[in-house]
Every structure is written in C-alpha cells, then in structure tokens.
Structure 1
Amino acid sequence: MVSWNKILGLMSVAAATILLGMVAFDVPYVKSVYFLRIDLGNGTASTLAANQTNPFIDLGVLGFCTDLKDGRGLQCSEPQVGYNLTAASKFLNGTLPPQLSASVNAVASTLTKVLVLHLAAFAIALLSFAFAVLAFLGAPIADCCASCFCGFAGAAAFAVFVFDIAFFALIKRRVQEEGNAAAAVMGNALYLTLFAFLLLFVTPLLFLIGRCCGCCIPDMSSDHEKRKGYN
C-alpha cells in the first residue's frame, strides 16, 4: 500500500515542476505568464487585460511579447537566451518609446542572459519529479534521491526568485525614471516562482516525515496475517 507521504510528495513536486516549466517557458511561449509589463503609452501598466488599454510589452525569460492595441494582438520576439529590447523596434515602426531607452536596454541585454538559471531550475525539478515517481512505485533509495533533488531544485528556485526581484525591480526603476511612476508593473511569473520554491521546500519534509513514521508505525497488515495464522 502506498503511503500518504509519497502521494503528497509526488503531487507537490509535480505541481512545482509545472510551475517552474510555465515560468521557464513564459513569453514568448506561454503568453499569459511574464515577469514585467511596461506601458508604452506613458500611462499606467496593469496586470488585468481589461484595464490595460495602452500599448505594452511583457518581458519573460527567453524574450518578450508586445501588444500595440492596433488589432494585431500579441507579437513576440524569437526565443533566445539573453535578448535586447531594441528588437521591439520592428513592431513599433522602427522607433522606440522613452520607456525602452538606451539605459533600459543596457540593463536588460546584460542581465537577461542570467535568466537561463530558470531553465536549470526546471531541469533539476524534472529530475526530482522522476525520482518522486520512482519513490511512489517503491524503488529502493528513490526517497532519498527525490528529497535530495527537491532540495537542489528548491535552492535553485529560491536563487532565481531573489535574482528576479533584484533584476526586474532594476528594470522597473529605469523605466519609471524614463516614463512615470506607474509605467511598469511586476507580472505573475514572480509569484509562480515563489509558489514553486515553497512546494519544493515542503516536499523533502513530507518524504522525511513518511520515513520516520514508517519506522515507528507497526505493519498492521503483517500483524493481521500473524493472528490469522495463530487461529
């Protein structure tokens, strides 16, 4: 019989892996997930689609998507590690607004290369999920490996979460210096990374509690079989 801790551990690491995957392949792939939205019309950026009436650009791990509110919808850059926002000029008739000035581009082109750490965190989470599946199926030593890789994935998720806060806060401040105080707003990818870290932090504890309890709780099925033999 599969123990409850293995079921909860598998569900927890699966959810964390899905969240990290959504973040690692956010815009231009998963267009509803992004780290920073910049209003290009010198207005107020909003995470709610109904409230975002001005043209905007969303920044992700491997690129960006922009909506000029001209009926063409979202237009996205080619995915690549380390991107430059000057590429948005082809969607903006060759001219960049002040919100995408040279100072903003200098920061973005330098720091977006480090966003590849999201892909590394996702890869480690996939390994932890694979070991969690093996632990669920009762493979020897899989519990320890799952806990170990969950710890690595959790540490990686926490590291990229801290970096994301620092990096996108810096871009946000540069944009606000060029535009207005409400020209940029943090997106949902930041919170998804935080939730993934919390799940990966809890998962090793579930496996540990299950192993400890398994050592202390007697096997009721074997006791029942012994009593049947005596009778």
Structure 2
Amino acid sequence: MVSWTKILGLASVAGATALLGMVAFNVPYFKSVYFLRIDLVNGTASTAAANQSTPFVDLGTLGFCTNLQDGRGLQCSSSHVGYNLSEISTFINGTLPPALTANVNAVASTLTKVLVLHLVAFGIALLSFAFAFIGFLGAPLADCFSSCFCGFAGSAALVVFIFDIAFFEIIKHRVQETANSGAAVMGNALYLTLFAWLLLFITPLLFLLGRCFGCCIPSGSDHERKGRY
C-alpha cells in the first residue's frame, strides 16, 4: 500500500516542476506569464485611441512579447538567450519609445542572459520528479535521490527568485530614470517561482516523514505473530 506522504511528495514535486516549466518557457511561449512588464506610455509606437489600454512589452526568459496597440495585436520575438529590447524596432515604424532607450537596453541585454538559470532549475526539478515517480512505483532508493535533487532544485529556485527581484528592481530604476517613459510592473513569473520553491522545500520533508512513519508502523505479519502469543 502506497503511503499518503509519497502521494503528497509526488504531487508536490510535480506541481513545482510544472511551475518552473511555465516560468522557464514563459513569453514568448506562455504569453500570459512574464517577469516584468514595461508600459510604453508616451511612446511614439502607439496610435491607439485614448480609451484603449497602454502599449506594453513583457519580458520573459528567452524573449519578449509586445502589444503596441497599433491594431496588430500581440507580437513576440524569437526565442534565444540574452535578447535585446532594441529588437522591438522590427515591430514599429519610427524611433523606439523612451522606456526602451539605450540606457535600459544596455542593462536588459546583460541581465536577460542570466535568466537562463530558470532552465537549469527546471531541469533539476524534472530529474527530481523522475526519481520521485520511480520511488512511487516501489524503488526505495529513488526517494533518496529525489530528496537530494529536490534540495538542489529548491536552492536553484531560491537563487533565481532572488535574481528575479534584483532584475525587476534594476530595470524599474532604469525605466524611471528615463524622462517621459513608462513604468515597470512586476510580473506573475516571480510569484510562480516563489511557489515552486516552497513546494520543493516541503517535498523532502514529506519524503522524510514517509520513511520515518514507514519504519515505525509495524507490518501485518508482525501483528499476526504477536496475536499467536
């Protein structure tokens, strides 16, 4: 009979892996998940009416998506490590909006290279899930490997979460320094990374509880032997 701690442990690491996967492949893939949104108010790209929403650009791990409110809808860059926000010039006619000046681009092109660490955290979590699934099927040694990889993935998730906060604050500061620019808004990818770290922190504890209770609870054969005497 499978213990409830193994079931919860497998569900926990599966949830964390799914969250890290969404963050690792957010915009331009999962377009509703992003690290940071820059509102391009006062930008030359917008030809929208006053009652329409503000043009924006969303930053992700491997690229960005932008909606300039010019009738063409959401447009996304190609996927690659270390993208540059000046690539948005391919979607507009004219100069870049003030929020995407060289001052912002110089920082963003460097920081976006470090976002690849989200792929590393996702890969480690995926290994942890694989071992957790094997352990769920009955291989006891796999639980130990899963707990170890959970620890590694949790540490990686915590590191990238701290970097995400720094990434947001630096870009926000650079955008605010630019005159007549927009505003930087924190994206939902940061919260997903935090939730994933919490799940990876809990999972090894669940596996440990399962091993402890498994050792302390006597088996059915032990009850039968005691009943004979």
Same fold (TM over 0.5): yes
- What amino acid is aligned across from residue 222 of structure 1 in structure 2? S
Partner of 2:221: 222
State the distance in 1 between where 2:72 and 2:146 align.
Answer: 46
- What amino acid is aligned across from residue 221 of structure 2 in structure 1? S
Partner of 1:47: none
Partner of 2:62: 62
Deviation at 1:227, TM superposition (A): 7.0
Partner of 2:126: 126
State the distance in 1 between where 2:181 and 2:213 align.
Answer: 53
Partner of 1:23: 23
Partner of 2:75: 75
Whether the aligned pair in 2 keeps the contact of 1:34 and 1:60 (CA below 8 Å) is: yes
Deviations 1:62-100 (A, max 9, x none): 000000112321100000000000000111214211100
Deviations 1:27-61 (A, max 9, x none): 00000000000111249xxxxxxx98111000000
Whether the aligned pair in 1 keeps the contact of 2:13 and 2:150 (CA below 8 Å) is: yes
Q: 1:156 to 1:132 in 2, by over 3 A?
A: same
Deviation at 1:125, TM superposition (A): 0.3
Deviation at 1:216, TM superposition (A): 1.3
Q: 1:90 to 1:207 in 2, by over 3 A?
A: same
Deviates more, 1:63-72 or 1:28-37: 63-72
State the distance in 2 between where 1:131 and 1:52 align.
Answer: 49
Q: 1:52 to 1:107 in 2, by over 3 A?
A: farther
CA RMSD of aligned residues (A): 2.0
Partner of 1:143: 143
3-state SS of 1:88 partner: helix
TM-score by length of structure 1 reads 0.91
- What amino acid is aligned across from residue 150 of structure 1 in structure 2? C
Q: What is the number of equivalent residue pairs in this alignment?
A: 222
State the distance in 2 between where 1:16 and 1:38 align.
Answer: 27
Partner of 1:159: 159
TM-score by length of structure 2 reads 0.91
Deviations 1:142-162 (A, max 9, x none): 110000000000000000000
Q: 1:179 to 1:196 in 2, by over 3 A?
A: farther
Partner of 2:47: none
State the distance in 1 between where 2:188 and 2:24 align.
Answer: 13
- What amino acid is aligned across from residue 65 of structure 1 in structure 2? C
State the distance in 2 between where 1:140 and 1:183 align.
Answer: 52
Structure 1: gaps (5+ residues): 44-50
- What amino acid is aligned across from residue 102 of structure 2 in structure 1? A
Deviation at 1:176, TM superposition (A): 1.4
Partner of 1:193: 193
After superposing on structure 2, the runs of 4+ consecutive aligned residues of structure 1 that deviate more than 4 Å are 179-182, 224-228
State the distance in 2 between where 1:71 and 1:136 align.
Answer: 51
Partner of 2:108: 108
Structure 2: gaps (5+ residues): 44-50
Partner of 1:38: 38
